[in-house]
């Protein structure tokens, strides 16, 4: 199985980044082909390069789920290099290690269809304008805790 995942920063000083590294390592160990896109470099790049099938840098930052249509257009245009690269990988699964990466994965999945899995790591949810889209387009959500899951369900994500 080919899995495309991402890290915003490839640095070992954060919990999300360490968890993404451990997930990539374990998926690779289990025989999956993991392709990784990262936004900012860091000390994990050499190790990620060793364990992943491909590691590519595309400058991007988190999607902010803007409320205005104009700002949303600017955000979408900014994500296009990451979307194009992700779609080129032709993965079997897009695994986003943070909610704020789901937007470019969803766009990439339109170009190169595959399920999008989104890992919740906190309770900060996008505004109500985006929740129905996330709930209907993301194939599966993974929560790091019952507390996180409950916060997202309370915000309006379908618990199924």
What are 11-49's pLDDT values in tens digits?
888 788 888 889 999 999 999 999 988 888 889 999 999
CA distances from 24 to 61, 74, 126, 132, 143 (A): 20, 31, 26, 29, 17
Give burial (CB, 10 Å; 0-12/13-18/19+) of 159.
exposed
* Cut 0.75: pTM above it: yes
| Residue 20 and residue 97 in contact, taking contact as beta carbons nearer than 8 Å | yes
Q: Are 139 and 117 in contact (CB under 8 A)?
A: yes
Alpha carbons within 13 A on the beta-carbon side of 156: 13
pLDDT at 120 over 90: no
Tens digit of each residue's pLDDT (9 = 90 or more) over 38-96: 888 889 999 999 999 999 998 766 666 667 778 778 877 878 888 888 889 899 999 98
């Amino acid at each position: 199985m080919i899995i495309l995942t991402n890290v915003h920063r490839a640095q070992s000083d954060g919990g999300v980044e360490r968890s993404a590294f451990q997930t990539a390592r374990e998926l690779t160990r289990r025989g999956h082909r993991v392709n990784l896109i990262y936004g900012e470099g860091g000390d994990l790049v050499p190790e990620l390069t060793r364990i992943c099938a491909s590691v590519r840098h595309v400058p991007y930052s988190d999607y902010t789920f803007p409320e205005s249509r104009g700002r949303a257009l600017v955000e979408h245009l900014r994500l296009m290099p990451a979307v194009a690269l992700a779609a080129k990988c032709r993965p079997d699964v897009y695994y986003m290690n943070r909610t704020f990466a789901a937007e470019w994965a969803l766009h990439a999945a339109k170009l190169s269809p595959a399920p999008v899995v989104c890992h919740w790591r906190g309770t900060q949810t996008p505004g109500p304008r985006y929740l129905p889209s996330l709930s209907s387009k993301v194939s599966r959500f993974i929560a790091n805790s019952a507390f996180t899951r409950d916060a997202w369900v309370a915000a309006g994500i379908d618990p199924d």
